[in-house]
A and B are shown apart, each in its own frame.
Chain A
Amino acid sequence: MSFATEVMNAALVIAFVTVAIAQAMSMLRLILGPSTGDRILALDTMVVNAIGLIVLLGIAQGVRVYFEVSMIIAMLGFVSTVAYARFVLRGDIIE
């Protein structure tokens, strides 16, 4: 195990901890959020952070399957954000 691999593994651990802290902070905004827009924004940020965590998991385990997982979560996150915003705006999702 060379020095470069050790540096990469340390960076991986730091990235895991940092993105997890970011995820927890956006969850705090989801709980606090005074208005509905803040809560939708916090959920959107949490989806993006979850994609980052899954990508990090794929790097750590060296498995390529996690790509499909993050792709599907990216699509689902966008659709759910738009659906929630439309529900607040129009009182209905599909008119």
Chain B
Amino acid sequence: MSAEIIGTYAVAVALLIGSIFALVGAIGLLRFNDSMIRLHAPTKVGTVGIGSLLLASMIHAYTFGDGSMHEVLIMAFLFVTAPISANFIAKVNIHKRACDTPPAPPRDETWSTLNVPEADRDIDTSKAG
């Protein structure tokens, strides 16, 4: 079994893995029932799906041509920017009230004010320091 045959099979396996992950991400995007939960599924497309397709492209270039490492650039760019855009979309969901928001904080007179809390009132602060 020569290196070319092994490379060809490796391209086929990487293509199948990448396309299956792309399909799984799209199914998750379509079927999950909440905006924040829906944010979870397409990350598979961005990382494993496209990463595997680009890996297939690299193996194909090394098997049939003179090879190229350029695809690593796209992979690195997608891996770096995916969390940033996901964070922005989560912020949009919170801003649009499309998800469960946390409960309102209890009423508090001492947080971020100069009022001394009830438990600390009997401590004499004039002698400290």
Contacts and interface: CB of A to CB of B under 8 A. Distances in A.
Interface string B12-43: 11011011101101110110000100110010
Given A4-B9, A15-B19, A85-B89, A21 B26 contact: yes
Given A21-B26, A29-B30, A75-B77, A45 B8 contact: no
Contact of B89 (A15, A18, A41): A41
Contacts of A28: 30
Majority secondary structure of chain B interface residues (helix, strand, loop or mixed): helix
Majority secondary structure of chain A interface residues (helix, strand, loop or mixed): helix
B20 A41 contact: no
Interface in B58-87: 60-61, 64-65, 68, 70-71, 73-74, 77-78, 81, 84-85
B88 interface: yes
Contacts of B30: 25-26, 28-29
21 contacts: A2-B5, A4-B5, A15-B16, A19-B53, A25-B26, A25-B29, A26-B26, A34-B98, A35-B35, A35-B93, A36-B92, A41-B42, A44-B85, A45-B26, A45-B29, A52-B49, A55-B53, A56-B15, A64-B68, A70-B74, A88-B96
Interface of B: 4-5, 8-9, 11-13, 15-16, 18-20, 22-23, 25-27, 29-30, 35, 38-39, 42, 45-46, 49-50, 53-54, 56-57, 60-61, 64-65, 68, 70-71, 73-74, 77-78, 81, 84-85, 88-93, 95-96, 98
